[in-house]
């Protein structure tokens, strides 16, 4: 017997990708770097806190340039790997080999792995590599210097693969640029993705556009969701984090039926189901029971609203 599942409409909503302005900006930056495939490729650093949508962007880009396998030749223009649990050049080489389909990615010393890696890159016509969660490479004490494994690994990538590299992770990943030879020119662009907020007219426009596009996909009565006060309540409840906002709305869909309305009561229940005690304590009250004035004041305290 299969376990519990989201309602089909809730699953469809959760799996839907809404390409907000930040997403589009990041894709354009990646494409600019992708174009440097060949001699003297560039790099790119994309940073954001958890839940903002880094991995969604990477997977979307990977899918965009996915090449269907043929009988004569397979191609893999875009390769996405996670930082391995054990920090070493060999482990990264193994992760890359596994992503490229090597049947025994951990076999051989680093020299043998590098030979296979270069062979795969040529045969599969690899043009760009994404390394996600790169902060896991950073020293736990927060101190990075020339001897750090993260620095050594980036140098290894740049010197041996000769293809554009995109390092993705939390904001501390930016520190890598200070210690890698030519990083200031090779990684001359950094994209810092932020949580949704209403601190400037431009940021407000981005959030409103995303919010309206997202709620329009909800197969329920969304009259309440169209209220600007409810939009601000959801901004507060999610702390502007895309993933949390989507989980609240997905749960609200799953706990209601066709013809039902998404009310403050439904949103409150969904919020308690998906949010952590810590995040609720940071707010100090239930957004969906608060007055518009209380919500706005807390948004301002959290620097999510001007």
All structural domains of the chain, each given as residue ranges with its CATH number in brackets, are 21-192 (3.40.50.300), 196-301 (no CATH)
Long-range contact list for 69-73, CB < 8 A, 24+ apart?
Answer: none
Q: What percent of the chain has pLDDT over 70?
A: 91
User: Residue 243 burial by CB count (10 A; 0-12/13-18/19+): exposed, middle or buried?
Assistant: middle
Would the CA dihedral through 66, 69, 75, 80 be positive or negative?
A: positive
Q: Would you state the pLDDT for residue 157?
A: 75
Residue 100 DSSP symbol = T
Q: State pLDDT tens for residues 199-252.
A: 999 999 999 999 999 999 999 999 999 999 999 999 999 999 999 999 999 999
Q: State pLDDT tens for residues 150-160.
A: 677 777 777 77
CA gap 180, 155 in Å, rounded = 7
Q: State pLDDT tens for residues 87-129.
A: 677 787 888 899 988 999 989 988 898 889 889 988 899 999 9
CA gap 242, 16 in Å, rounded = 13
Instruction: Please list, in sequence order, all residues whose beta carbon lies within 8 angstroms of the beta carbon of residue 299, skipping any fewer than 6 positions away.
Output: 198, 232, 235, 236, 305
Residue 150 phi, psi (nearest 5): -60, -45
Whole-number Cα distances in Å, 253 to 86, 236, 262, 265, 289: 40, 20, 8, 13, 20
Could you give the strand order of the β-sheet that contains 165-169, starting from the edge strand earlier in sequence?
78-82, 128-132, 165-169, 43-47, 190-192
């Amino acid at each position: 017997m299969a376990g519990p599942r989201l309602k089909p409409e809730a699953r469809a909503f959760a799996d839907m990708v809404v390409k907000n302005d930040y997403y589009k900006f990041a894709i354009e930056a990646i494409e600019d770097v992708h174009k440097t495939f060949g001699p003297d490729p560039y790099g790119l650093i994309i940073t954001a806190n958890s839940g903002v949508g880094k991995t969604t962007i990477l997977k979307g880009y990977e899918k965009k340039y996915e090449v269907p396998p043929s009988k004569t030749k397979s191609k893999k223009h875009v390769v996405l790997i996670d930082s391995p649990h054990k920090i070493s050049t060999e482990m990264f080489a193994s992760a890359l080999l596994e992503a490229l389909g090597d049947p025994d990615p951990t076999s051989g010393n680093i020299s043998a792995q590098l030979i296979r890696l270069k062979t795969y890159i040529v045969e599969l016509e690899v043009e760009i590599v994404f390394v996600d969660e790169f902060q896991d490479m950073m020293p736990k004490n927060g101190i990075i210097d020339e001897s750090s494994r993260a620095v050594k690994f980036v140098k290894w990538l740049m010197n041996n693969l000769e293809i554009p590299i995109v390092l993705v992770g939390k904001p501390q990943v930016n520190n890598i640029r200070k210690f890698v030879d030519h990083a200031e020119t090779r990684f001359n662009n950094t994209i810092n993705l932020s949580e949704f907020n209403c601190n400037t007219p431009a940021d407000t426009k981005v959030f409103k556009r995303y919010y309206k596009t997202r709620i329009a996909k909800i197969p329920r009565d969304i009259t309440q969701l169209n209220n600007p006060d409810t939009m601000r309540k959801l901004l507060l409840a999610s702390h502007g984090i895309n993933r949390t906002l989507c989980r609240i709305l997905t749960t609200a869909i799953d706990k209601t039926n066709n013809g039902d309305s998404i009310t403050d009561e439904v949103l409150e229940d969904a919020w308690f189901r998906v949010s952590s005690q810590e995040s609720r304590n940071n707010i100090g009250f239930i957004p969906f029971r608060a007055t518009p004035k209380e919500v706005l004041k807390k948004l301002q305290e959290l620097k999510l609203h001007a």
